[in-house]
Structure 1
Amino acid sequence: MSRPHTHHSSVRLRARAVPARRSAGPWLVGLAAGVLACTGAFLVPTGPAPAAPVPLAARAAAPAPVDDRLPDCAAVVAAMSPRALLAQRLMVGVDAADPAGAAETVRTSQVGGVFLPGNATALLRDQALRALQAGARIPVTVAVDDEGGRVQRVDELDGDLPSAREMSGLTTDEVRALALQRGRALAARGVTQDIAPVVDLGGQSAREVIGDRSFGTDPDDVTRYALAFAEGLREAGIEPVVKHFPGHGRADGDSHAGRVTTPPLEDLRGADLRPYADLVGPGAPLATGPLPAAVMVGHLDVPGLTDGLPSSLTPAVYALLRDEYGFAGVVYTDDLGAMKAVTGQYELPEAVLAALDAGADVALWSAGGDPEPILDALEPALAAGTLDAGENTAAVTRVLRAKSVCG
């Protein structure tokens, strides 16, 4: 996403004719008579800094730490209705100029996440997000894409943040400090997630779609600076989301404007995919600790990987991330509702269904609107087995664990 908008596959997409511990918690969730009840308060967690990165070959997969003060996720999920489970897999754009409308969207649909696009700030002022959270039975992930440079959401409130390209001229300690300061400002306003940093490789002119949003062209440099930025966010209690898997930086266009093609998969392995291995693979620094990073999958055509569908709708892409790169956290789609790489061919309900079926944990769209028609399309798909029930449970479990709702 940028400033203007911001397994198996049984789903058949119908092409339309054409000329996305956290700062909101910990939240304690109990089960009483089979009814899920949530209580808690906003606390900003603190803790030791994540360990320095180690070579991939030296890592061993480590189980996520279990907080035995939290209810068991299996019991929490079992107490939820099918519609409530599916709602946790949606992140819908809300109008940050309309706090009451955003709160009503959450109250009526119980979506798992909201995304604040654009530059309106009313929802980020005067603790307006507390009212939004008050209407949620399960805490809501509140996301912005505040990268710095061209893609910022709170610069009018909390000052300008340099672009990734500008930050690459600083030390990593300075970048971490900038991200910590920004993360604390976000957390104080009720934001829980920053869809950043970008780990795409750069090399384009500054104003192209990735351009100055990238930390550089060398995978090792990108990894070091992205890690520093993400560590600063995590220290502030903000969940980072690295993007855009498997790599948008060397694509031949802008997926906001239409379908784009990257270099072949084997080429990506040697460069664009390396930051993912070193940041979020098994035992990697952003895969461990109290706030593991999430990953966002872009809308890309990748020779040797995708076959007629954008990467966000392709099962092989999620299998690559999960099985080969060993990522065990939450996976988001890029914007399914305002990027023509998807909207140029597919209606939103079928794109959301296909993305979840392909392996995304959470489908994101910034265009907003009523989530109920999307849930109306997903619920029968789950009942019919089009969406696999076991995979749905696993996805919701990952989402709830990331919110510290259960352990």
Structure 2
Amino acid sequence: MTSASDARAVILGCSGTTLTPEETAFFRDVRPWGFILFKRNIGTPDAVRALTASLRETVGRADAPILIDQEGGRVQRMGPPHWPKYPAGRRVGALGTDLARLGARLMAQDLAEVGINVDCAPMLDVPVAGSDDIVGDRAFGTDPGTVIATGRAVAEGLLAGGVLPVIKHMPGHGRATCDSHLDLPVVAADRQSLSASDFRPFRALADLPLAMSAHVVFTAIDPERPATLSPTVIREIIRGEIGFDGLLMTDDLSMHALRGGFRDRAEAAFAAGIDVVLHCNGSMDEMRGVVEATPHLTGIPARRAQAALARLAETDRFDVAEARARFEAALQVA
């Protein structure tokens, strides 16, 4: 086994349900810190287990992070017929914290059984009237209090099942009037309003180990650069006002909110203070560009990565059949 100090500060995707020879060779050479799976990578449970094992074999680390977006609702990469369908965030927020925690614990069970140990959830964005539907019913509610309580419960459920949560999209995507997958959102709200609402859930859950940045410009803080690429946002807001000292990763570098070549995108993110960059679509040419600008994971980012992985030991005893029956019964009456 190799050590985490051999890893590069990058999380990468792959193209299908098995690794190609080119991907295997590339990952062995690059040694990314982790990987991310999407629906294109999901086959049967046995196939997913084989893929996660193959990915970890390329880097020689049994605890290498393997991420997935498994929120429920319209963002659920693993679903029927092999896995249950989970409710969207809005409904989870309405169910109450006990059921939110139970649902997340069941979701963690699904993920852990196939070798996935990081879930890009909970989403802590607080949508406002007129914002783009990219958040919409994925949000736990429209008030920070509901988002905080539900987000905490979901994070606890994931951790109890041996899966690390990723709070997103820091410091807040709820006011965006366009989808950052397609264009660059610009938020003109004043600093006081942002602090009172958008930043509140992230402050309340700043003790969690992993967070994902937002490709959103906040004109009151940095009118030129999205949070992912802004030293001001990362230093003053994320590390300062919010007080987050965990591992900060980018949202997907291939999203159209960002401009320029992939080496340039990665360089700008690291210069801003990002710990780890994320590239999702499995394009080999794009990944090569990202990796050209990606350092090895050392220093403070390495400490944050190690602290995050140390939380994976926190698991509980769990009667899966009883818990799933209880959760499904609650959904039918809620």
Task: Identify the residue that residue 315 of structure 1 maps to in structure 2.
Answer: 231
Instruction: For 1:124 and 1:99, locate their aligned partners in 2 and report how far apart those are by CA, in whole Å.
Output: 16
In structure 2, C-alpha distance between the alignment counterparts of 1:326 and 1:203, rounded to whole Å: 24
Distance 1:124 1:91, change over 3 A: farther
**Residue number among 124, 139, 143 corresponding to 1:218 in the alignment:** 143
1:99 deviates by 3.6
Q: Which residue number in structure 2 is paired with residue 150 of structure 1?
A: 74
Q: Distance in 1 between matches of 2:291 and 2:92?
A: 41
Residues 1:395 and 2:284 are matched in the alignment: no
- CA distance in 2 between counterparts of 1:118 and 1:207 reads 23
Offset from partner CA, 1:158-191 (integer Å, 9 cap, x none): 1101000111221210111111001011001000
Change (3 A) 1:375 1:353: same
**Alpha-carbon offset, residue 324 of structure 1:** 2.2
| Residue type at the aligned position of 1:130 | A
Q: What is the letter of the counterpart of residue 334 of structure 1?
A: D
Instruction: Give the TM-score of the pair, scaled to structure 2.
Output: 0.83
* 1:265 aligned partner: 191
Q: Distance in 2 between matches of 1:273 and 1:239?
A: 21
Pairing partner for 1:193 from 109, 118, 140:
118
Q: Which residue number in structure 2 is paired with residue 166 of structure 1?
A: 91
CA distance in 1: counterparts of 2:129 and 2:45, whole angstroms = 33
Q: Which has the higher helix share?
A: 2
Deviation at 1:327?
1.2
Shift of the 117–294 alpha-carbon distance from structure 1 to 2, 3 Å rule, reads same
Once residues 158 and 42 of structure 2 are traced to their aligned partners in structure 1, the CA distance between those partners, rounded to angstroms, is 20
- Counterparts in 2 of 1:127-146, with a 5 A limit? 127-128=49-50, 129-138=52-61, 139-146=63-70
Q: Residues 174 and 301 (structure 1 numbering): CA distance in 2 closer, same or farther, change over 3 Å?
A: same
CA 1:135–1:204: 2 relative to 1, 3 Å: same
> CA offset at residue 274 of structure 1?
0.5
Identical-pair percentage: 29
Unaligned residue ranges in structure 2 (runs of 5+) = 312-334
Task: For 1:328-407, list aligned pairs within 5 A.
Answer: 328-337=245-254, 339-342=255-258, 345-370=259-284, 371-378=287-294, 393-404=299-310
In the alignment of these two chains, the number of paired residues is 302
Cα separation, 2, equivalents of 1:321 and 1:312: 11
Q: Structure 2 CA distance, aligned partners of 1:120 and 1:271? A: 36
The alignment partner of 2:167 has SS state of strand
Structure-2 residue corresponding to 1:92 = 12
TM-score by length of 1: 0.69
Relative distance call for 1:306 and 1:207 in structure 2 (3 A) is closer
Amino acid at match of 1:333: T
Task: Determine the structure 1 residue equivalent to 2:331.
Answer: none
Matched position secondary structure for 1:209: coil
Once the two structures are superposed, what CA deviation does each residue of 1:25-72 show, in whole Å capped at 9, x if it has no partner?
xxxxxxxxxxxx55xxxxxxxxxxxxxxxxxxxxxxxxxxxxxxxxxx
Q: Cα deviations across residues 296-327 of structure 1 (Å, max 9, x unaligned)?
A: 11100102212311110001111121122221
Question: Does the residue aligned with 1:190 lie in a helix, a strand or coil?
Answer: coil
Q: Counterpart of 2:317? A: none
1:271 match: secondary structure: helix
